[in-house]
Amino acid sequence: MAKTPTTKKFILLPTHIAMVPDGNGRWAERRGLPRLSGHREGAENMRRMIKYLSKYPIKYVTLYGFSTENWTRPEVEVMGLFAILEEFINKCVPEFNQEGIKLRHLGRLNELPRNLQAAINRAMELTENNARMTLNLAFNYGGRAEIVDAVRRLIAEGVSPQNIDEESFGHYLYTAGLPNVDLIIRTGDEMRFSNFLIWQTAYSEYHFTKVLWPDFGEKDIDTALLSYSRRQRRFGGL
């Protein structure tokens, strides 16, 4: 049973954490397992990490589950990822709901299989009044696609160019109503953006780790939070 973390050692905690859980496939390959076994273990670790983070006073967590570019992967892997996500939602969301966690989807929901759309919509409806923490699941998400979709909505609504500024533009993004990302964590020894939350991470702090996502645990989260708490954020200032 996980211990409740103490926040005394952290001078500053992020309000919004975004995570790129990379390395599922490599984790499986190193063990001689199919890639989908790695994704399934990654989904289980996602459940563990959400539960652990919810013990902190962190209000928003965004997880990158499936990008708009991931459609180019082999069909069997893509379909397997969809099945794993649906299984994850059906299994974990009732538990999250009891703990006061709200689920929100970021991305092009209408392009996903109908049964997966239905599962996501049920989860969002079930948890819509929860306020302890908001879990944003970026599935079929792309940062460029998000900006394109926002521009399309602006044009469709006939918004005058003179009335568009950074604040108003933010209302047309998938993340409307959410604060910008304070800390982004990427596992799996990769150091790149990967088209994730381009607008929202303009001044985010980054934490990279070689640990593959299925092995990423509570101590790794604490290490990232401690590193963040020691940084001085200037947002372009002195």
Contacts of 193 (CB under 8 A, 6+ apart): 143, 201
DSSP for the chain reads: -PPPPP-TT-S---SEEEEE---HHHHHHTTT--HHHHHHHHHHHHHHHHHHHTTTT--EEEEEEEEGGGGGS-HHHHHHHHHHHHHHHHHHHHHHHHTTEEEEEES-GGGS-HHHHHHHHHHHHHHTT--SEEEEEEEEE-HHHHHHHHHHHHHHTT--GGG--HHHHHTTSTTTTSPPPSEEEE-TT--S-TT-STTTTTT-EEEE-SS-GGG--HHHHHHHHHHHHT----TT--
Catalytic residues: 22, 70
Question: What single-letter amino acid sits at 49?
Answer: M
CB burial of residue 182 (10 Å; 0-12, 13-18, 19+): buried
